[in-house]
Structure 1
Amino acid sequence: MADQSVSQIFSAIADTAPAVRAALPGRRVEYGGENPSGESQLAADVYADSLFKDRLEQVDAVGTYFSEEEESAVAVGDGSLTVAIDPLDGSSNLKSNNALGTIVSVYDEPLPASGDSLIAAGYVLYGPITTMVVAHDGVVTESVLTDGNQEVVKDDLTLPSEPTIYGFGGRIPDWTPEFTEYAREIESEFKLRYGGSMVGDVNQVLTYGGIFSYPAVKSAPDGKLRTQFEAHPMAYIVEAAGGKSSDGTQSILDRTPTEVHERTPVHLGNDELIDRLESSL
């Protein structure tokens, strides 16, 4: 039953993603409000949120919808599952026409919840082509989405064993001395790939191997990324693909936030690089 429910949820995401992408050109303007994390909303953020909510409301297994753009949960049905979503990750990239995406996590408990409550997670990447990556039962699949069709192109996506890239967020002067020392080592070994959308940046790590980090910084010691909407699902995907996640001391999936919009430092990538990072911090 869980497999069928997960399939229905991500079929709904795949069906909706082309409409989200098609709506982007006319919605690059400020909406005039802020999301619960205090970030300015674009019209595209609000529109994507509305589209996904309306579509997931039609999936019987979904009982609760929770979005990064909304203050509280929305009851959408009688199902037992909670879908948490970042409707448009990296929407600030719209102005410069760079990559952005959608992040989806499926919990079998109400939020806030531990990463142990995740039963599936995925993301859509709106790049030169639209792709969807989904992790469930320890297996990661990648599909290409075109004209409402979903074609699986990789049925067991795994992190390459030889890492080649890194992407670190935050302003360098705002990094802690410990993270700065680690970063200096990494940048001497690998190529920089950072675009300002977590979906795009983590997808690069899954494609080439390496590490993505948005660390604790001096101005934000709790980190920037939201645990439930960004950190948990991306950690779930990377770990299912054979990598590791960390908040600096432990797996991100071991974190249980006390409130839904709570933030955390995030480090995702190949085992060796995460182990080295934890030793450095």
Structure 2
Amino acid sequence: MSNGDAGPVGHEQVNTNIVTLTRFLTEEQTKHKEATGDFTLLCHALQFSFKSIAYYIRRASLINLGGLAGSVNETGDDQKKLDVIGNDLFIAAMKSSGRVKVLVSEEEEELIPCDQLNPNARYAVACDPIDGSSNLDAGVSVGTIFGVFKLAEGSKGTKQELLLPGTELVAAGFTMYGASTQLVLTMKDGPVNGFTMDTSLGEFILTHPDMKMPKKRSIYSCNEGNSKYWHEPVLEWVDSLKQAEKPYSARYIGSMVADAYRTLLYGGIFAYPADKKSPKGKLRILYECAPMAMVFENAGGQAIDSNMRRMVEVVPESIHDRSGIFLGSYDEVQKVIEIHKKHGISA
């Protein structure tokens, strides 16, 4: 007896035309005659770091990698043991690639030079190696957020040269380490593609090609525990969602990568606004806000800061500069913009 197109009952249908991340990158490279292969090699180093971090996260409880490392990172957060390991893995992968000139990490105060193997390397990578690590011991999904810039020829890789808006990113994305390891990747003005880690093959497999967000969805995600510090437009916006004819569903995990991935798949909006306690906001522009904004815009959504500026156009004042953010479905972010306009706040 057959079961539709799924083959005989009890038998797994075998897909023999698997698109791995390696194959995907190689095929993309062939579309660009001017390609040197440097970017492809950099992406291979990135995927190796994601696989390595995923491995240690899966084994964290078994080999005593939970809890604090006893140190604090540049941005004032207590470091977990896995923060330190994830950071070391990422730095080692970038240095060994020979294609990265300089790296910015949330865990390091200063820029990290990576061009020992190749002084002519042109790429700069900004990353948060393990975002949401405060949730690790509870088994909540965490992730890596990254953005890739191409520096001008002859660049020295100085801090000033890294203070770039998201419009200068050549690639961006994030990896979520949860029930499965998901990689979301996009390139400048290109589609958003999602890959799932197949642990038996040791490969990222293309499972979500050309991801597009729903234009609207009645889901909002924000930490309402901070509402006593929120400014009036934000309070009015959240209240309007609760008072809608069909009230919105609240979904907040507290791990940006997990909240953003759900929003990307299902639609809705994720918000972490600047407030009276954190006037500039809490999320870092260079390696959290800008890469996420690029992903969401390329998937048909919007991303803005608390001043209603397009997030990818915001220029950081320092490598660890912060911002508030609203990102999600196009129409949902537009509602935020319209309410702020009523209060005289517009880009």
TM-score, normalisation: structure 1: 0.95
Contact 2:215 2:330 in 1 (8 A): no
Instruction: State the secondary structure of the residue aligned to 1:171.
Output: helix
Query: Equivalent residue of 1:151, what SS?
Result: strand
CA distance in 2, matches of 1:187, 1:107: 40
1:66 CA drift (Å): 1.1
List gaps (5 residues or longer) in structure 2. 1-33, 152-160, 341-347
* Structure 1 residue 193 displacement after superposition: 1.4
Q: Which residue of 2 aligns with 1:186?
A: 241
- Say if 2:171 is the partner of 1:120: yes
Task: Tell me how far apart the structure 2 counterparts of residues 194 and 2 of structure 1 sit (CA, whole Å).
Answer: 41
CA distance in 1, matches of 2:36, 2:169: 13
Matched residue count: 281
Partner Cα distance (2:219, 2:233) in 1: 20
The aligned counterpart of 1:15 is 48
1:104 equivalent among 123, 128, 146: 146
Selected match of 1:209 from 267, 281, 306 = 267
- 1:219 partnered with 2:277: yes
- Could you tell me how far apart the structure 1 residues matched to 2:133 and 2:79 are? 9
Q: Which residue does 2:319 correspond to in 1?
A: 260
Correspondences of 1:76-115 after superposition (within 5 Å): 76-77=114-115, 78=119, 79-109=121-151, 110-115=161-166
Among 65, 68, 76, the alignment partner of 1:27 is 65
Contact 2:98–2:114 under 8 Å retained in 1: no
**Deviates further, 154-163 or 87-96:** 154-163
Report whether the alignment pairs 1:60 with 2:98.
Answer: yes
Instruction: Work out whether 1:155 is the aligned partner of 2:209.
Output: yes
How far did residue 91 of structure 1 move? 0.1
Q: Which residue of structure 2 aligns with residue 130 of structure 1?
A: 181
Tell me by how many angstroms 1:113 deviates: 1.4
SS class of match (1:274)? helix
Q: Is the 8 A contact 1:193 1:204 kept in 2?
A: no
- Counterpart code for 1:202: A
Q: CA deviation at 1:55?
A: 0.9
SS in 2 for 1:41: strand
Aligned partner of 2:20 in structure 1 is none
TM-score, normalising length: structure 2: 0.77
CA distance in 2, matches of 1:256, 1:6: 24
1:84-127 Cα offsets, whole Å, 9 max, x none, are 11000000011211110000100124312121211110100011
Whether the 8 Å contact between 1:85 and 1:105 is mirrored in structure 2 is: yes
Look up the SS of the partner of 2:96 in the other structure. Answer: coil
The separation in 1 between residues aligned to 2:112 and 2:321, in whole angstroms, is 18
Instruction: Using the TM superposition, give the Cα deviation of residue 2 of structure 1 relative to its aligned residue in structure 2, in angstroms.
Output: 5.8
d(CA) in 2 for partners of 1:6, 1:272 = 34
Aligned-pair CA distance for 1:190:
2.1
**Cα distance change of structure 1 residues 269 and 68 upon mapping to structure 2, 3 Å threshold:** same
Q: CA RMSD in A?
A: 1.6
Structure 1 residues 37 and 233, CA, compared in 2 at 3 Å: closer, same or farther? same
Q: Judge which range, 136-145 or 164-173, deviates more.
A: 164-173
SS of aligned partner of 2:75: coil
- Which range moves more in the overlay, 27-36 or 2-11? 2-11
Q: What is the CA-CA distance between 1:4 and the residue it aligns to? A: 4.1
Instruction: Name stretches of at least 5 consecutive residues in structure 1 with no aligned partner.
Output: none
1:221-268 deviation per Cα after TM superposition (whole angstroms, max 9, x unaligned)? 111000001000000100011111101321111111110111001110
Preserved CA contact (<8 Å) 1:100 1:197: yes
Tell me: CA distance 1:6–1:241, structure 2 relative to 1, closer, same or farther (3 Å): farther
Bigger Rg, which one: 2
Alignment of 1:164-175 (within 5 A): 164-169=218-223, 171-175=226-230
Hey, what does 1:45 align to over in structure 2? Answer: 83
Deviation at 1:18, TM superposition (A): 2.9
CA contact (8 A) 1:103 1:122 kept: yes
Report what 2:108 is aligned to.
70
